[in-house]
Amino acid sequence: VIGVVIGKTDVRSFPDRKNIGTERYTFGFTIRDSPTYFINAQSWGREEYIRSLSESFRVGDCVTIENPLIQSKEAEREEKFNPVTPSAYKLLLSENHSVVKTSPCYDTDTRLLSLLHLPVKNPQDYYSLGDIVANGQSLHGRVLNVLAAVMAVSE
């Protein structure tokens, strides 16, 4: 699979249920290879492997993923913590079988660079900040997609 990284999570650790007293590490990212299709990838493993893999690329880089395990995603559980994707599947990367290689997008396919700026949601499925201010009471308790621009960043 070749695509541009459009999102990435931080490295996290969890207690390993199989080896009590040890930790498993994970991080995820989302890649896109066309205006319509993008998929989540998740990697699990030892701390050294996961940290090294996570530090080897960033959002905006093009990656080639070799030998991922393809699994059906559990939509309700997984989309709580990952971007919602149009695919019914996810990619699982393992230290022993999978390889992630990075390359500049212009070396791979210049069309991939333009995919970084496309929204991942339907353009009709957004609320503007003005809509939320005007209709706040009627929207109370609902989960919304918000389309906004950052005007300033400060401490």
Identify whether 138 is part of a domain. Answer: no
The answer on pLDDT for 154 being more than 70 is yes
Q: In whole angstroms, what is the distance from residue 19 CA to residue 24 CA?
A: 9
Answer whether 0.95 is exceeded by the pTM: no
Identify whether 152 is part of a domain. Answer: no
What is the Cα Rg of the chain in Å? Answer: 18
Least confident of 41-45, 125-129, 149-153: 125-129
Identify whether 154 is part of a domain. Answer: no
Q: What is the pLDDT of residue 140?
A: 82
Structure tokens that stand for 148 in this block:
């906004």
Q: What is the pLDDT of residue 56?
A: 94
The answer on pLDDT for 108 being more than 70 is no
Q: What is the pLDDT of residue 75?
A: 66
Q: What is the pLDDT of residue 77?
A: 67
Identify whether 54 is part of a domain. Answer: yes
Nearest to 23 by CA among 4, 55, 50, 52: 50
Identify whether 38 is part of a domain. Answer: yes
Determine the average pLDDT of the residues in 76-101: 83
Range of the domain at 98: 2-115
* For the chain, the helix, strand and coil percentages under 3-state DSSP, each to the nearest 5: 25, 35, 45
User: Residue 24's CB: how many other CB atoms inside 10 A?
Assistant: 17
Alpha helices of 3-124 — where are they, by DSSP H? 47-55, 75-78, 105-108, 110-114
Identify whether 131 is part of a domain. Answer: no
Q: In whole angstroms, what is the distance from residue 120 CA to residue 2 CA?
A: 18
Identify whether 145 is part of a domain. Answer: no
Mean pLDDT rounded to a whole number for the chain: 85
Identify whether 137 is part of a domain. Answer: no
Structure tokens that stand for 46 in this block:
């030892």
CATH number, domain of 47, equals: 2.40.50.140
Domain count, the chain: 1
